[in-house]
Structure 1
Amino acid sequence: MIWLILGTAAVVLDSHNIFSYGYIIIGILFFGTYLFENSKQYLTIENGTISKNHLIPKTVNLNEIEGVKKFAGEYTLKTHKTELKINTELIEENSLTKLDAVLENLNLETK
């Protein structure tokens, strides 16, 4: 919202400066990102996959997970190709309990 306000004020005060329109564009992009992330859940577990829902979603198959590292409020799920970092502070307590249950059912070594 601040970027939109700054951009609008900059355009009203000095519409000849092309950089003033950049503030409006940045504000729209930030606001769109906020709306997208607010409408989606942070994490989705379904059909044997864990998906982290962002503008560019990241998905990991549960059967490909080789290890789980828990450190400082963050889980790191490791596969042979990628890593998926999960910030547990963004997850509700009930959902975190369900996530822990799913990860325990994988019978992997937790660090």
Structure 2
Amino acid sequence: MKIKFKKKRLLANLFLGIVWIGLGIFNILEDYNLRWSDYGYLVIGILYIGHYLYDFKNQYLTIENGIIRKNAFYGFRKKINLNDINWIKKFAGDYTLKTELKELKINTELIDKESLIELNKILAELNLPSEKTPFAKLGV
């Protein structure tokens, strides 16, 4: 199961990529004295487009085979076994999943509404004491 990004975030990366690429092409076509920074605009645009494509394909979180994995374009993937989670903290809308050795922060502002409902269901089903989960108080 994939926990999806909000469409607004995905479209922002796509828009920024197009703008940077357009700026780079404009600078290359208009400027007779090319500088390395003119090509830098193209590189930044390509990175934004790459970020959009990666996020569109992989989304924010992947939950499969009892493992929750946070996907990141720049190689900072974190994963935690759902059975190893012994504490879920909720602060300012963000979740922090803690095990004995690892910690995974989930920014709920980035998550699509329907996906957030699914994530809440999965986290509420974990067998945790009521003082170690925000879901016991909510009755989710």
State the identity as a percent. Answer: 51
SS of 1:4 mapped into structure 2: helix
Which is helix-richer, 1 or 2?
Answer: 2
Which stretch shows the higher mean deviation, 30-39 or 83-92? 83-92
Shift of 1:61: 0.8
SS of 1:59 mapped into structure 2: strand
Structure-1 separation of matches of 2:28 and 2:95 = 44
Moved over 4 A (4+): none
**1:54 aligned partner, one-letter code:** A
Q: Which runs of 5+ in 1 are unaligned?
A: none
* 1:68 matched to 2:88: yes
Structure-2 separation of matches of 1:59 and 1:98 = 18
Give the alignment's TM-score, normalised by structure 1.
0.84
Shift of 1:104: 2.3
* 1:5 matched to 2:9: no
Distance of aligned partners of 1:9 and 1:65 in 2 relative to their CA distance in 1, 3 Å threshold: same
* 1:91 matched to 2:108: no
Shift of 1:11: 1.2
Structure-1 separation of matches of 2:114 and 2:24 = 41
Higher RCO, 1 or 2 (CA under 8 Å, sep at least 6)? 2
* 1:28 matched to 2:46: yes
Q: Which runs of 5+ in 2 are unaligned?
A: 1-17, 135-140
**2:79 aligned partner, one-letter code:** T
Structure-2 separation of matches of 1:40 and 1:110 = 27
Structure-1 separation of matches of 2:21 and 2:97 = 37
Quote the residue 1:17 is aligned against: 35
